[in-house]
Amino acid sequence: MTFHIEVCPFGAGKMVWLKTDCLRVGLANFGATITSVQVFHPKQQKWVEVNCAYPTSAAETEADTDYMGVTVGRCGGRVAHATFKLNGVTYRTDKNMAGSHTCHGGYNAFNKKHWGLTVTETATEIGVTFNYTSAHMENGFPGELVSKVTYSIERAKPNVLKTRYDAYISETSPADACPVNIFNHAYWNLNGVPECNGKHDAVWRQPESVRNHWLRVPASRVAEADRAAIPTGEFLPVEGTGLDFRKGRVIGECIDDVALLDRDPCGYDHPLAIDGWEKGKLMLHAEAKSPITNICMKVYSTFPCMWVYTANNKPLPASGGPGQRYARWTGMGLEPQYFPDAANHYPKYPSCIVRRGKNRFEETIINEFTVGGNSNM
């Protein structure tokens, strides 16, 4: 088994490739973005792209407005009415969602920054660490937050992408606490993204819809929310509904159920509560599989919530040209994170508050790829 790291120019920034004989991962320091994940298919003897993004175009990566593969923060998800109260102070954050709420940290947040980077190659792993320091009151959030995202592949697990998050309030910060919810917003398609999707193609071919994906999520509850995914702080049971993925089901079975899903456009866009969650414990969050490629992805994480999103806001149909590279339902977000608007719903939701000298934001996401159940691929 070979392991290799490449660093290449990517627009004004850099692209770092982590490569093994069975997995290739492209990572841009713009937005600490997952731009490409390629799985080697032993039966077909070729690489299959399973991540929907723009690996050949820095310009489109930077222009993207759908958070494709980026790291969101400092407080990803939602902040309802763009306001929260902490230590007796009311803070007002960017209203970048429907003119009323904060989405994924606000305007020009973590996803629009060029992060610093450090490449590492040790006896146990290859990887890259991206770092960014968010200023006090950036996007309306208090505290100077020092953040790191490390992507790595362990030599003992060449088919596994590991992502580690570490963030803390600096010693010189004017404020000593802040809500933090940093996670990745990759769009997956295990059917495979067409190979012709390169920078020289005027029009891209669409991947097969993820409606055919089988998905399992060990969650018996969903966070109750309105049509804009703004939560109430309560939980609803999923048993007997199309949100019950505990035994596994095909995404397309209920993706058009407007009455159940209550999203416009219709589809999945729901925060599921992982059963038996414990702080700091790495647990299975999801398992997805394509009937076309037989590629399976398992997601493990320490986060309490798994947000399932089926790219409902993409156009249908999509032209395939710039700005419409991907159509509705051609990607699926399986996003471990803290619950949306957690800062306003403690103790009903687990706390996402980081306090200087008391705790850090330390979370992990693992994506394991297999073909036909063969972990050695």
Strands of the sheet with 33-41, listed across from one edge: 3-10, 13-20, 23-28, 33-41, 46-49
pLDDT one-digit tens code per residue, 175-196: 999 999 999 999 999 999 997 6
Task: Check residue 201 and give its pLDDT.
Answer: 63
Task: Check residue 373 and give its pLDDT.
Answer: 66
Task: Check residue 81 and give its pLDDT.
Answer: 98
Answer yes or no: is pLDDT of 281 > 70: yes
Answer yes or no: is pLDDT of 301 > 60: yes
The CATH architecture annotation of domain 3-371 reads Distorted Sandwich (2.70)
CB 181 within 8 A of CB 77: yes
Helices marked H in the chain — which ranges? 58-63, 258-261
Task: Check residue 167 and give its pLDDT.
Answer: 99
Domain spans of the chain? 3-371
List the Cα angle 152/329/198 in 5-degree steps.
Answer: 60
CB 119 within 8 A of CB 5: yes
Task: Check residue 374 and give its pLDDT.
Answer: 54
Residue 145, SS3?
strand
Task: Check residue 277 and give its pLDDT.
Answer: 99
pLDDT one-digit tens code per residue, 12-54: 999 999 999 999 999 999 999 999 999 999 999 999 999 999 9
Answer yes or no: is pLDDT of 376 > 50: no
Helices marked H in 250-347 — which ranges? 258-261
Please tell me which residue, 196 or 2, carries the higher pLDDT value: 2
Q: How confident is the model at residue 202 (pLDDT cuts 50, 70, 90)?
A: confident
- Share the mean pLDDT of the chain: 96
Q: How confident is the model at residue 322 (pLDDT cuts 50, 70, 90)?
A: confident
Q: How confident is the model at residue 212 (pLDDT cuts 50, 70, 90)?
A: very high
pLDDT one-digit tens code per residue, 131-149: 999 999 999 999 999 999 9
DSSP of 29-69: TBTTEEEEEEEEETTTTEEEE-B-S-TT-HHHHHH-SS-TT
Percentage of residues of the chain with pLDDT beyond 70: 97
DSSP β-ladder status, 89-92 and 102-103: unpaired
Cβ neighbours of 122 (radius 10 Å) = 10
Q: How confident is the model at residue 377 (pLDDT cuts 50, 70, 90)?
A: very low
Answer yes or no: is pLDDT of 242 > 70: yes
For 50-69, what is the mean pLDDT?
A: 96
Which sign does the torsion angle of CA 30, 33, 35, 38 carry?
A: positive
Q: Tokens 């980081």, residue?
A: 354
For 5-13, what is the mean pLDDT?
A: 98
DSSP symbol at 204: P
Answer yes or no: is pLDDT of 261 > 60: yes
